[in-house]
Amino acid sequence: MLRSIVAFLLLANVVFFVWSRGWVDDLIGVRASGDREPERLAKQVRPESVRLLTPQTLAAAASAAESKFTCLEAGPFDDAGIVVAENAASLALPAGTWARKAHEEAARWIIYMGRYANREALQKKEQELSRIKVAYEEITGFPALEPGLSLGQYSSRNAAEEALQKLSQHGLHTGKVIELAKASTQYTLRVERADQALAAKMSALKIEGLGRGFAACNKSS
């Protein structure tokens, strides 16, 4: 029995020695040295096709891919208008391509001068303000206030009143504070990533309910 054990251990050591030398790698398929260089390099398939990409190359590739998409939006709409716009969009555009975006609009107060009888009177007042170095801009888009001037826009009545008081120190006494626009919520319909085909379709879309249609997104919103 003891002789059998000794013979077995001797045989096992001989087999291990032969294998560890790598003499039977091709016969048994298990390499004594493991899967390492240079054998692993010899097994590569078309190594010349492998390219190392730098972070700059990856960034350029991502930018090029992103440039194929366009952000488009329609609006702004009020509470009633956005419902109509969404109904129109659901009929004209693929489902899931657009989303509603809400934008909180703060109240706007201005220091107002006007309404003047004619443009000559307006220009005369502009000359007076220039002489006393008071900044102004002509009001447009508000017919009830035209022709008239704004001496600044503010988010609250108190801020506008304080500014008007400072202007009175320059000899200006005919300005008044008025609310140009109330605080409100405005909405847009936006497609964040339109491909070229969808962007072309959207840009040409002129249907009732979408106002002036889709245009490039306002990135500040």
% of the chain beyond a pLDDT of 90:
36
pLDDT exceeds cutoff 80 at 202? yes
> CB of 125 within 8 A of CB of 209?
no
| Model confidence pLDDT, tens digit, residues 207-218 | 788 888 888 888
The confidence score (pLDDT) of residue 153 equals 94
Burial, 139: exposed, middle or buried (Cβ in 10 Å; 0-12, 13-18, 19+)? buried
Q: What is the CATH number of domain 70-105+184-216?
A: 3.30.70
Q: What is the DSSP letter of 135?
A: -
Q: Edge-to-edge, what's the strand order for the sheet holding 214-216?
A: 99-105, 184-194, 70-77, 214-216
Phi/psi region, residue 42 (left: phi>0; alpha: psi -120 to 50; beta: rest), is alpha
Q: What is the DSSP letter of 81?
A: H
Q: Where in the chain are the domains?
A: 2-34, 70-105+184-216, 108-181
pLDDT exceeds cutoff 90 at 220? no
Q: Which of 4-13, 26-35, 41-50, 202-211 has the lowest mean pLDDT?
A: 26-35
CA distance 218 to 211: 16
The confidence score (pLDDT) of residue 71 equals 92
pLDDT exceeds cutoff 80 at 67? no
Q: If you average pLDDT over every residue of the chain, what do you get? A: 80
The confidence score (pLDDT) of residue 212 equals 84
What's the whole-number mean pLDDT along residues 101-121? 93
Residue with the larger pLDDT of the pair 120 and 204: 120
Residue with the larger pLDDT of the pair 54 and 93: 93
Secondary structure in 3-state letters for 185-198: EEEEEEEEEECHHH
What's the whole-number mean pLDDT along residues 188-204? 87
